[in-house]
Amino acid sequence: MKLPKHEFKRLQSHWYKKLADDGFIDIEKEKNGSHILIQGAIYPFRNNDSFVRLIKEEYFRTIGQITHDEKTEFRNEIDQYILIRYSDGARIKTIVEELILRGTPKERKTIRIIIRRYEMAWGIRYYNQQQLNVKPKNE
């Protein structure tokens, strides 16, 4: 059953209002009866040149391929969740909030260290002991 245009617009407005009342922040805004993006997909890279954009794109593509590979092993389910969400482009702050909702809270610094540990294991990046929060061994 196809709705008439005016009915569809009324229903659409109702649901947009309901979402807004529930705190949903839409990435579009209504202008002249149509919906347009508030910011384009390139916006997060506005201060970077094309070389930096390509490097970041390749970095996240590589991490995404490794984390979604069925042969990749993780220490535990939380590490896997963190790396998958990070590879999907989620910010660390968002991952912290999601882990709290899941009942497995982690601090931002802990999440960074988990990501760094896997980056080193996979040969993507290298960090010193201080950056990994490892205390030097006293011999």
The whole-number pLDDT of residue 79 equals: 95
Instruction: Specify the length of the chain in residues.
Output: 139
**Using one digit for the tens of pLDDT, what is the confidence trace for 74-119?**
999 999 999 999 998 889 999 999 999 999 999 999 999 999 999 9
Q: Which residue has the higher pLDDT, 135 or 119?
A: 119
Q: Give the torsion through C-alpha atoms of 111, 117, 132, 54, to 10 deg.
A: -80
Mean pLDDT of the chain: 86
- Region 2-12: what's the mean pLDDT? 84
Task: Judge if pTM exceeds 0.95.
Answer: no
Q: With the CA atoms of 31, 34, 38 and 43 taken in that order, what torsion angle do they form, in degrees rounded to the nearest 10?
A: -130
Does residue 14 carry a pLDDT above 60? yes
Confidence at residue 108, expressed as pLDDT on a 0 to 100 scale: 93
Of all residues in the chain, what percent carry a pLDDT higher than 90? 47
Q: How many CB atoms lie within 10 A of CB 71?
A: 5
Distance CA 6, CA 51 (A): 48
pLDDT attached to residue 42: 65
Tens-place pLDDT, residues 61-72: 999 999 999 999
Residue percentage of the chain with pLDDT more than 70: 94
